[in-house]
Structure 1
């Protein structure tokens, strides 16, 4: 990861590395236990048309995920850890991220589509798929 500032919103073709880095930073903010309970902070990171297929199989929209995260306790929450995060710019305004998470022993492969908008990079679509770590067996 670099310390480069995010691409200017008006630029026609953002640097691929900077675009991926901006999406990664957004994803990590969404996983931050200090950000998750804040409807304003989460809402700023989610595209108005956001949808998710959760690791539970539940379908989420923007309003339902913001409400669910706001209802969870903010203190005493163990941070969600990530591994193998990688990304690719699919088009000037689209980035795909793939990574794994460990949420208190619940493992999931994750896929996110980030879209650059007039207000910055926002999460457009997310999917989580549970998995078992065969290496621990």
Structure 2
């Protein structure tokens, strides 16, 4: 049985954040705001690649409209992460969809979930358009 300390090693913490990030990028979660809500911190904020600022509520309302069923999913690459402090993980990665390439950074925070356990949730995200080629 893992102790609380061993459950939050840097590798396990980064892996948990990566799993959450990949889930949020998937159509299954993006099309279900209730599932996405479980992965977003109550204090979530985002500065999108468009420059728009998002709150948790605004993102959850708009999430199902972001992708068409016939549109290819974004390709995710160069994902890396590091434990910044206990309970905080930073992820960096790139997404590519067609000709659009975006560098992304996410901050994940460990906190209590509604069932009394702990859950990694996306606290802040920023996307920055990248030059092609």
Q: Is this a same-fold pair by TM over 0.5?
A: yes
Q: CA RMSD in A?
A: 1.7
Structure 1 moving runs of 4+ over 6 Å: none
Which string of whole-angstrom CA distances, capped at 9 and with x for unpartnered residues, describes residues 103-134 of structure 1? 2321110000000111200000000000112x
Unmatched 5+ stretches in structure 2: 114-118
Give aligned pairs, total: 126
Equivalent residue, structure 2, for 1:123: 122
Which string of whole-angstrom CA distances, capped at 9 and with x for unpartnered residues, describes residues 10-51 of structure 1? x25611000000000000000001210111111000001100
* Deviates most, 55-64 or 12-21: 12-21
Matches of 1:125 and 1:61, distance apart in 2: 10
Matches of 2:27 and 2:71, distance apart in 1: 7
- For residues 1-137 of structure 1, the aligned pairs below 5 Å read 11-12=4-5, 14-72=8-66, 75-119=69-113, 120-133=119-132, 136=133
Per the TM alignment, residue 73 of structure 1 is displaced from its structure 2 partner at its CA by 5.2
- From the two aligned structures, give the one with the greater helix fraction: 2
